[in-house]
Amino acid sequence: MSMTMLSEPNIVPSAKKELTFAQALNESLREAMTRDPSVFLMGEDIGPYGGLFRVTEGLYQEFGSQRVLDTPITEQAIIGFGVGAAMVGSRPIVELQFSDFMALAMDQIVNQAAKARYMSGGQLSVPLIIRTPVGTGLGSQHTQSLEAWLMHVPGLHIAMPATPYDAMGLLRTALELNDPVLFLEHSMLYSTRGEVPVDPYKVPFGEARIVRQGSDVTVIAVSSGVTVAAKVADELAAEQGVSVEVIDPRTLAPFDMATIVASVQKTNRAIVFHQACRTCGIGAEIGQRIMEEAFDYLDAPVTRVAARDVPNPQAKSLEMVVLPSEQDLKRAINSVLYRSPA
């Protein structure tokens, strides 16, 4: 369809529709299953129930119990089955109900899925997509942001969409990759709405999005943090005349360093904003790489606005202390600008 558009450049611009993040994923899944018989879904409560966050809603009814498989509560085997099926021609899309449960399946994710191609000298492919939510509000065992673990593992692709548009476009791309993809979805995003083109489009892996142009400081934010960063940027522009560039890497592996470096060369300052614990989070990697690649441009140290290094508490009054806030981000921006906050 986009081909048609290219050859008919003068027709009306592609129609758009509004979808929630969850609906965007749901549509991509439906589309993939319709197009490609090798795609099937597997996970806990993804069948008749439609998934804890409704991402698979209706798909069981549409594609039946052979292609939308409710599983027992056995994360290691769920991923392991995905690995095996992917090795012999299927394209499994597996859901882990919360990303904290990756801890139960790290052997299959890391020692098997990520390394199968390499260890076999390129003979095996594991085109397995693992979708899993990251969250807040449910205590220490249901809200961890563990993307840094994954980014440390060669052989994995990692997507962290922030909008319905990216969720749909990245999932489409993920389905064309022949290696495992970790698709991290923030639970606070599922009900957020956004426009997506009616015509099929894709978002490539490894291409960051400049969410908002700016000249004073670069903020790199991921997942649910992107909207927060954009909002803070708008407010700071209005309130204090500070011009913040916001960049969403969209995928962590591959990682688009070029866009970030170009931005920092312009702004000379950078902040990484993420929900994961500060120490050894992706902020460390991104900050370090900015130093490596744009050292002479930096007018202030790259700064991290991240969760405190404690498990996530259940009480809201406590979680607010632990998770990075808009205020924290504003403070950090002022700090790298060597300004006292207004």
Ligand X SMILES: Cc1ncc(C[n+]2csc(CCOP(=O)(O)OP(=O)(O)O)c2C)c(N)n1
Query: Whose Cβ is closer to a second copy: residue 139's or residue 200's?
Result: 139
Residue 213 C-beta: closest distance to another protein, Å: 25
Is 95 among the residues that bind ligand X (CB under 6 A)?
A: no
- Specify the stretch interacting with another protein by CB under 8 A; choose among 5-13, 108-116, 195-203, 282-290: 108-116
Residue 75 annotated in active site: yes
**Residue 199: CB partners within 8 Å, gap ≥ 6?**
1, 2, 5, 14, 15
Concatenate the DSSP letters of all residues of 164-198 into one string: HHHHHHHHHHHTT-SS-EEEEEETTTTT-EEEEES
For the stretch 173-179, contacts whose Cβ atoms lie closer than 8 Å and that sit 24 or more positions apart, written own/partner, are 173/202, 173/203, 173/204, 173/205, 174/129, 174/205, 175/28, 175/32, 175/36, 175/39, 175/91, 175/129, 176/202, 177/127, 177/205, 178/125, 178/126, 178/127, 179/117, 179/125, 179/126, 179/127, 179/155
Residue type at position 177 = L
Is 75 among the residues that bind ligand X (CB under 6 A)?
A: yes
Residue 262 C-beta: closest distance to ligand X, Å: 42
Is 254 among the residues that bind another protein (CB under 8 A)?
A: yes
Residue 147 annotated in active site: no
- Whether residue 175 contacts residue 157, with contact meaning beta carbons closer than 8 Å, is answered with no
Is 258 among the residues that bind a second copy (CB under 8 A)?
A: no
Residue 89 C-beta: closest distance to a second copy, Å: 23
Judged by CB under 8 A, which of 64, 154, 301, 341 binds another protein?
Answer: 154
Residue 309 C-beta: closest distance to a second copy, Å: 4
Is 101 among the residues that bind ligand X (CB under 6 A)?
A: yes
Q: Select which of 75, 95, 147, 185 is catalytic.
A: 75
Judged by CB under 8 A, which of 147, 179, 216, 248 binds another protein?
Answer: 179
Residues serving a catalytic function are 75, 142
**Contacting residues toward ligand X, per CB under 6 A:** 44, 73, 75, 97, 101, 104
